[in-house]
A and B are shown apart, each in its own frame.
Chain A
Amino acid sequence: MNTNNAIEIRGLVKNYPSFTLGPLDLTVPRGAIYGLIGPNGAGKTTAIDLIFGMGRNDAGEIRVLGLDHRRDEVAVKRRAAYVSPDLNFQVWGKAGKAIRFVRGFYPDWDDAYCATLMQAFQLSDADKIATLSFGAKTKLSLLLALSRRPQVLILDEPTTGLDAVSKQQVFGELLKAVEDGERTVLISSHGLSDIERFADHIGMIKNGKLLLEGRTDEIVDRFRFVEFFGGNGTDFQSGDGLFILKRTENRWHALLDQKSGAHDWLQSKGAKEISLTRLTLEDLFVALVKERGSK
């Protein structure tokens, strides 16, 4: 285990009757906000659940801060917090009661930070959880996780259904949480423009396998949309670093990995008027998911 990594997943496999996760490798650097992205059903939640010991993996290992996720389960759970849209704190009635209940379990609970977050998220002890808006409930579960001062914070779809202001507040708090360079956030989300803006690293998974992983800026920078015109009858196929997206007669649209030799290859095959266009993470995501999905 490299101590610069907060989470290392190696060869993780989980078999279900209709779906297999893995073998999956993920590396989440310490101090980073890491965005785990993938289409619905790619295995993001399965992977996150396995980190927290919900379900038993069939193969591979998961290390959180160097600790084995099963053998050192208690130590992992003390240092890592989890927020999911499924968490429900309604049974405690009021926000204050939920907070008092949860804080008892965690020796590192930070009351001052909790109070700051209450203000930032516009929550109060007297709020009745049942009548809170969806967004406010999400903020409450985030507050309960952050106030523990976890070394690793794992968030499953934390911004679904949040308005733009709330989303910004949440990401603002996450950036604060990683400010010391020691704490790490793993976030799974479909909000790709948010991930592109806030996440230092991303991992893209599809059908239970990792498609891409690395620094967000480097990954986005590496790819371009490419348009070119083929000679009569020339057939271009997806291959090494080139993903054909569309074709109308001799006019082609594709995704191009600039790290590959695809550009030179296109020229050598007689492609004319090759023009490259920058893309966003969302563009890249759609192109990759569609292209690979068509096979």
Chain B
Amino acid sequence: MTPARKNLLIGPISAAADGALYQQIVDRLKREISEGRLKPGAALPSFRQLAEDLLVSVITVKRAYEELERGGIIFRRQGLGTFVAEHGHDRSREAKLAAAKNLLREGFREAAEAGLKPSELAELAHEILKGKK
């Protein structure tokens, strides 16, 4: 068995959280990678092992891994396993930024439709940021 198995603990996933379960796995793994808890070259558990840990179907984890692989964040070596890519850290940060920009854009659009002026929008953004702290 791979030694990675016992070390890897990713944020909880739940049917009640936003996004499909596979998407939640993608997001949680990106967070581990962008925050440096999973370093380039680190081995990830096999998807069957992670499925067992997270109590989700194998196909759910497989889909998450495939998406991370397409994004160049992890890579697979036949017979050896799956690893965090050299630039996985930057790429997951880039991906997160892109996702954040999209969400902001969407939020701004909704706010504009609700009749908010740019100044009011900036104020709202400040409020949200303050509320978070």
Contact = CB atoms under 8 A, between A and B. Distances in A.
Contacts of A178: 48, 58
Contact of B48 (A179, A193, A197): A179
Contacts of B56: 197-198
Contacts of B21: 197
Contact of B52 (A175, A200, A215, A216): A175
B52 A197 contact: no
A198 B48 contact: no
Interface in B77-113: none
Contact of A217 (B22, B48, B52): B22
A198 B58 CA distance: 8
Tell me the interface secondary structure of chain B in the complex: helix
A179 B57 CA distance: 11
Contact of B57 (A33, A172, A180, A221): A33
B49 A179 contact: yes
A176 interface: yes
* Interface size class of chain A, counting residues whose CB lies under 8 Å from the partner chain: 20 to 34
B60 A175 contact: no
B48 A200 contact: no
Nearest to B62: A200
Interface centre among A32, A180, A198 (most CB of B within 10 A): A198
A175 B59 contact: no
Contact of B55 (A168, A181, A193): A168
A171 B52 CA distance: 9
A199 interface: yes
B20 interface: yes
A217 B58 contact: no
Interface string B42-59: 000000110110011111
Interface of B: 15, 20-22, 48-49, 51-52, 55-60, 63
5 contacts: A33-B58, A168-B55, A175-B48, A178-B48, A197-B57
Interface of A: 31-33, 168, 171-172, 175-176, 178-181, 193, 197-201, 215-217, 221
